[in-house]
């Protein structure tokens, strides 16, 4: 594919790097000279120092022959205008705009009026990731697979736990539940394990299991679940307020919400009456708005780094702290410090997967890499028609949600014939109303929805297997 990206910030360069590694033809436009020069030094692609909001600059970047345009500048309006400009001359181009304003994302199917095929909302995507982790006590990251009872949990193995020193082939007999460990992160390495792999304390393992069994699986890793009834949110910006909305809105409330509400994106956790939510925000004006919006929450206008404030408000007695400020360093440090003060679990919002790994090693229970989440969302729209979603895991390894098309080369073929050069693995199959972890006698059927783990370098090869290459 040929892709033009406007905006060479961290998200834009991360996306461009992935696409270049996959042998796609990428052009990058950046208005800031220093940022453009930095991107040019790091990436093996065309980088233009120019504004992206003109047909001239877009055509210089190769928009006439491109398959997709991705707008990732810091301005919602600019991203939408650029998509509109491109649509006026190149209507068949895939156009993706990152936006943060809730009103824009609620245009839904009317987005085509603006010439935009897909909106990507980083705060909504990140808030969903935060809330997914809560039903299991924020013991680890959780990836849900819509339409199935299965999910992928990621957790660190504690020293002396059941999984510490376990030979992987013995996992089923120990867990006594259906499940699979398809990926292990150990020090600086991520790998697809074999039956002879010996798990160790400090490993971060990714486990696929039924939602109802995940707490038990986490206990094997030494992570005992705890009810999260007292929850603190540090940072009352868009992301923090979205998380608060998910926590303070029951399913029964959804019918009374206007269509402008984003609460329908998040499932209810424990009864609202049993939760105590505290929002800590330094900006007084923001605190007033939050108090009016969330009357059931305690909104505190103070500095989370003030030790006296932490002691006076008994922040150390919280079950969970969610650090969601715009400063990722503050988020990590605050999460770690508050755990030393007695907080049981901590979730921190960080910028990239690299910082996610650092946060986990430092003791943060769940780290959400906002930029990586956005990149995954964009890539999900750029891949072939059979690939429905992509989720990055570890270093260079991802989860792919796909559907087998009737013309797929693997349709009606046995799973033993599905072999990626990088060693991919089919984790889960959803066939009509039934979901299952496939065995050696599984045969791919058209319309099967499959969950695959593979190295990022296998993306093009995977599209060929699925019969969905553009």
Residues contacting 29, CB < 8 A, separation 6+:
4, 5, 6, 7, 8, 47, 48, 50, 51, 52, 57, 58, 61
Say yes or no to pLDDT of 265 above 50.
no
41's enclosing H/E stretch is helix 33-42
Q: Place 112 in a pLDDT band, splitting at 50, 70 and 90.
A: low
> Both ends of the chain: CA-CA distance in Å?
8
List the domain range (segments joined by +) for residue 435: 383-466
Q: Are residues 357 and 313 in the same domain?
A: yes
| CA 421 – CA 423 distance, rounded (Å) | 6
Q: Are residues 331 and 297 in the same domain?
A: yes
Check if the beta carbon of residue 404 is closer than 8 Å to that of residue 457.
no
Mean pLDDT value of segment 21-38: 93
- State the pairing for strand pair 68-71/2-6: parallel
Q: Are residues 442 and 392 in the same domain?
A: yes
pLDDT tens for 301-310 read 999 999 999 9
| CA 186 – CA 184 distance, rounded (Å) | 6
- The pLDDT, as a whole number, for residue 469 is 42
* Secondary structure E strands in 305-383: 320-323, 345-350, 366-369
Q: Are residues 397 and 459 in the same domain?
A: yes
Domain boundary among 193, 220, 247: 220
- pTM for this model (two decimals): 0.87
Q: Are residues 154 and 255 in the same domain?
A: no
Mean pLDDT value of segment 52-77: 94
Based on the structure, what is the number of domains in the chain? 4
Q: Are residues 324 and 413 in the same domain?
A: no
- The pLDDT, as a whole number, for residue 460 is 65
| CA 56 – CA 54 distance, rounded (Å) | 5
Q: What is the CATH number of the domain that holds 291?
A: 3.40.50.720
pLDDT tens for 122-169 read 998 899 999 999 999 999 999 999 889 999 999 999 999 999 999 999
pLDDT tens for 368-379 read 999 888 999 999
- The pLDDT, as a whole number, for residue 196 is 96
Q: Tokens for 10?
A: 């961290």
Q: Place 258 in a pLDDT band, splitting at 50, 70 and 90.
A: very low
Q: Are residues 361 and 234 in the same domain?
A: yes
Q: Place 408 in a pLDDT band, splitting at 50, 70 and 90.
A: confident
Q: Are residues 150 and 248 in the same domain?
A: no
Domain boundary among 170, 204, 220: 220
- Which of 151-160, 235-244, 348-357, 456-465 is least confident? 456-465
Q: Are residues 267 and 341 in the same domain?
A: yes
- Which of 141-145, 256-260, 398-402, 446-450 is least confident? 256-260
Q: Are residues 74 and 152 in the same domain?
A: no
Query: In this structure, how many other beta carbons lie within 10 angstroms of the beta carbon of residue 226?
Result: 13
pLDDT tens for 189-209 read 889 999 999 999 999 999 999
Highest-pLDDT range among 226-230, 315-319, 392-396: 315-319
Q: Are residues 25 and 108 in the same domain?
A: yes
The CA-atom distances, in angstroms, between 64 and each of 44, 73, 90, 278 are 21, 21, 7, 51
């Amino acid at each position: 594919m040929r892709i033009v990206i406007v905006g060479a910030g961290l998200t834009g360069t991360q996306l461009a790097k992935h696409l270049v590694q996959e042998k796609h033809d990428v052009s990058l436009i950046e208005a800031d000279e220093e940022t453009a020069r930095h991107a040019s030094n790091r990436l093996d692609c065309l980088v233009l120092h120019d504004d992206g909001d003109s047909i001239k600059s877009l055509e210089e970047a190769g928009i006439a022959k491109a398959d997709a345009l991705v707008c990732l500048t810091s301005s919602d309006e600019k991203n939408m205008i650029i998509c509109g400009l491109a649509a006026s001359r190149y209507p068949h181009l895939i156009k993706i705009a990152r936006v943060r304003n809730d009103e824009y994302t609620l245009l839904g199917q009317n987005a085509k009026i603006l010439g935009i095929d897909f909106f990507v909302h980083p705060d909504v995507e990140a808030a969903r990731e935060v809330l997914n982790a809560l039903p299991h006590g924020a013991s680890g990251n959780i990836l849900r697979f819509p339409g199935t009872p299965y999910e992928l949990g990621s957790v660190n193995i504690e020293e002396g736990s059941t999984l510490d020193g376990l030979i992987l082939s013995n996992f089923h007999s120990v867990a006594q539940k259906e499940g699979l460990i398809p990926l292990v992160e150990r020090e600086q390495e991520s790998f697809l394990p074999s039956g002879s792999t010996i798990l160790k304390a400090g490993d971060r393992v990714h486990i696929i299991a039924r939602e109802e069994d995940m707490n038990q699986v986490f206990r094997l890793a030494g992570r005992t679940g705890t009810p999260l009834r007292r929850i603190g949110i540090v940072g009352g910006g868009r992301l923090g307020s979205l998380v608060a909305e998910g926590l303070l809105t029951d399913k029964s409330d959804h019918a009374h919400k206007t269509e402008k509400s984003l609460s329908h994106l998040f499932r209810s956790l424990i009864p609202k009456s049993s939760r105590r939510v505290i929002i800590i925000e330094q900006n007084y004006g923001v605190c007033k708005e939050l108090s009016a919006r969330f009357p059931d929450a305690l909104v505190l206008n103070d500095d989370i780094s003030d030790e006296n404030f932490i002691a006076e408000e008994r922040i150390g007695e919280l079950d969970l702290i969610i650090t969601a400020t715009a400063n990722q360093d503050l988020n990590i440090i605050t999460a770690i410090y508050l755990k030393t003060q007695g907080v049981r679990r901590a979730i921190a919002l960080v910028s990239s997967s690299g910082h996610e790994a650092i946060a986990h090693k430092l003791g943060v229970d769940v780290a959400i890499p906002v930029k990586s989440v956005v990149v995954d969302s964009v890539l999900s729209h750029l891949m072939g028609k059979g690939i429905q979603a992509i989720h990055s895991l570890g270093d260079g390894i991802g989860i792919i949600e796909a559907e087998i098309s009737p013309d797929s080369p693997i349709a009606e073929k046995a799973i033993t014939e599905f072999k990626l050069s990088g060693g991919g693995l089919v984790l889960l199959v959803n066939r009509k109303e039934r979901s299952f972890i496939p065995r050696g006698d599984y045969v791919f059927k058209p319309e099967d929805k499959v969950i695959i783990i593979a190295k990022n370098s296998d993306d093009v090869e995977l599209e060929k297997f699925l019969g969905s290459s553009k």
